[in-house]
Structure 1
Amino acid sequence: MRLDIAQITGIGDRQTNQDALASAIEDDLACFVLADGTGGHAGGELAAHLVTGSIVEKFLQEASFSARALRSYVDWAIYQVAQRKLDNARQQQMSATVAALLIDQSNHCALWAHLGDTRIYLFRDGKIIAVSKDHSHAQRLVDAGYAEYEVLRQHPQRSVLFAAIGAEGDSHPEVTLEATLLQHGDAFLLCSDGLWEWILENEMEQVLTFAGNADAWLTAMADIAGQHNMASRADRDNFSAFAIIVRDENEDIAGPVDTDWRPEQSD
């Protein structure tokens, strides 16, 4: 198998970009990391880059495919952020969400971890079959039955987190314990809230069905998110994403999606 990969990051309507992305490949193992920083302009940006850099650093030092290995990479990032906070009193409030994905290309399987509201989606046959659950107060209201899942994007507490690297509290990073076997055509989307807040899940699926490659899929999703944001007239947060499609080793990658195509309008 091989991976068709695209990535994007944008500042939105903020003064700085506090999102960070990093990736690395060691032999047949691939590691993708996305973080969204908080805690002031300098603190959030620093935290995000510390998280992504630390995870990739540890992966390259000890590349392995297991839930234990993935957890050790995230734990190293937690340690690095904690040490930086001890060394700099001005950065006591910095933290960052994280989404990390490991793919074993030889054995066609994947593991992932997350903390906060940076999401990981897994698509199969053009449909979402798994999505990470946000560590947010809005998600807790959904879990308790006080709100519907559909309102997460508009809820006034949607950005209030109860866990992130640097602000873990009693929560620990969630790591998949068993590897997911991958099939031809499976796709992953790792994205910060600056993307998923502005595009619905059915729109992600529809664009994937028509896109010929990862770059076209991600570009189309970013365009839809931008259109929704402009229509709302609301300020937009930083937005970042990885789009990864599993291909057969000898498969030709199709061309981009028809630029005149638009997803069906949701009710």
Structure 2
Amino acid sequence: MQIELALMSEQGGRQVNEDACGHWHSERYLCCVLADGAGGHGGGDVASKLAVSHALQSYATRPAHDPQALRDLLRDTNEAVLAQRATTPQLRHMHSTVVLLSIDLQDRSALWGHCGDSRLYAFRQGRLATRTRDHSLVQSLIDGGLLDEAGARVHPKRSELYSALGAQGDDLHFSVQPEPWPLAGGDALMLCTDGLWEWLPDEEITAALAFATDPQAWLNDLGLRVRLAAADKPNHDNYTALALWLGD
């Protein structure tokens, strides 16, 4: 299976980029992780980098492409964030979203899990096939029929999360794909932070994909669209994405 991979991470209008992303692969497995941190006093930057590095190192030590393994990995990554908070008082409020993608190159399947409002999008034949659903207040309002997607993007509490890494006990919630998703040639996958998707409806992300010649061109186009959409918001958020294209 041939895979093209591209990355984009921009500071936006903030003083610090608190997003992080990375990937690891062996002959059989590929793992991609993206995170968006918060917490003040440098905590967001620390939390996101810790989430990405810990998840990738743990996966590399023992690649396991099944839903329970991803649940365990997300739970263990949360424990790593909590441990860092406990030993560093100035980081006691840090937390981070995370989205993790595992690909079995031999079986040609993908599996993903997430916590918070960083997302995974999966496209097939140029159309959006599925995407993750946020652990957030506005997502619960959408699910209850009290808000639509357009309203969610301008809601004053659109950044309020129900769960993120750094939560304890029953406050931690994450979602994992219930079974591997069979991959096909021509599929496109993207992990991204809310700093990207809050400016770009699903239809616009799909339209950009149709015009792109490769995954980096796709991300470059999306980045330009974010900058144009946020032109009158000088303090707009960091935006980060990792894209994968599967060869035929």
**Match of residue 197 from structure 2:** 196
Match of 1:165?
165
**CA displacement at 1:53 relative to structure 2:** 0.5
CA RMSD of aligned residues (A): 1.3
Normalised to the residue count of structure 2, the TM-score between the two structures is 0.96
Whichever residue aligns with residue 131 of structure 2, its letter is: V
Distance 2:193 2:199 in 1: 11
Secondary structure, aligned partner of 1:202: helix
Shift of 1:172: 2.2
Structure 2 counterpart of 1:105: 105
- Contact conserved, 2:22 with 2:33, CA < 8 A, in 1? yes
Task: Please state how far the C-alpha of 1:119 moved relative to its aligned partner.
Answer: 0.7
Instruction: Determine if contact 2:13/2:234 at 8 Å carries over to the other structure.
Output: no
CA distance in 1, matches of 2:34, 2:223: 16
Shift of 1:60: 0.8
Return the alpha-carbon distance in structure 2 between the equivalents of residues 207 and 162 of structure 1: 30
What's the CA shift string for 1:64-90, capped at 9, x where partnerless? Answer: 211122222212211111111111222
Distance 2:67 2:141 in 1: 29
Alignment of 1:115-264 (within 5 A): 115-167=115-167, 169-230=170-231, 232-248=232-248
Q: Which amino acid aligns with 2:203?
A: N
What CA distance in whole angstroms lies between the structure 1 residues aligned with 2:199 and 2:244? 20
Letter in 2 for 1:115: C
Give the corresponding residue for 1:74: 74
Cα 1:127/1:27, change in 2 over 3 Å:
same
Count of paired positions: 247
Hey, what's the Cα distance between the residues in 1 that align with 2:58 and 2:183? Answer: 25
One-letter code of the match for 1:74?
L
Deviation of residue 6 (structure 1)?
0.4
Question: Deviations for 1:34-65, whole angstroms, at most 9, x for unmatched residues?
Answer: 00001114111111011001000101100121
Q: % of aligned pairs identical?
A: 35
Q: Which residue of 2 aligns with 1:253?
A: none
Secondary structure class of the residue paired with 2:171: coil
What SS does the corresponding residue of 1:203 show, helix, strand or coil?
A: helix
Contact 1:198 1:226 in 2 (8 A): no
State how far apart, in whole Å, the 1-side matches of 2:235 and 2:87 are: 34
User: Any gaps of 5 or more consecutive residues in structure 1?
Assistant: 249-267
SS in structure 2 opposite 1:161? Answer: coil
How far does residue 20 in structure 1 lie from its aligned partner after superposition? 0.5
Offset at 1:234? Answer: 5.0
Write the deviation string for residues 136-173 of structure 1: whole angstroms up to 9, x where unpaired: 11111111221112222111111011100002543421
Q: How does 1:30-109 map to 2 (within 5 A)?
A: 30-109=30-109
Distance 2:141 2:31 in 1: 32
Once superposed, which parts of structure 1, at least 4 consecutive aligned residues long, lie more than 6 Å away? none
> 1:261: which partner in 2?
none
Q: 8 Å contact 2:10–2:17 — kept in the other structure?
A: yes
| 8 Å Cα contact 1:16/1:41 also seen in 2 | no
User: Which one-letter code corresponds to 1:144 in the other structure?
Assistant: G
The aligned amino acid for 1:17 is N
**Conserved 8 A contact 2:41-2:91:** no
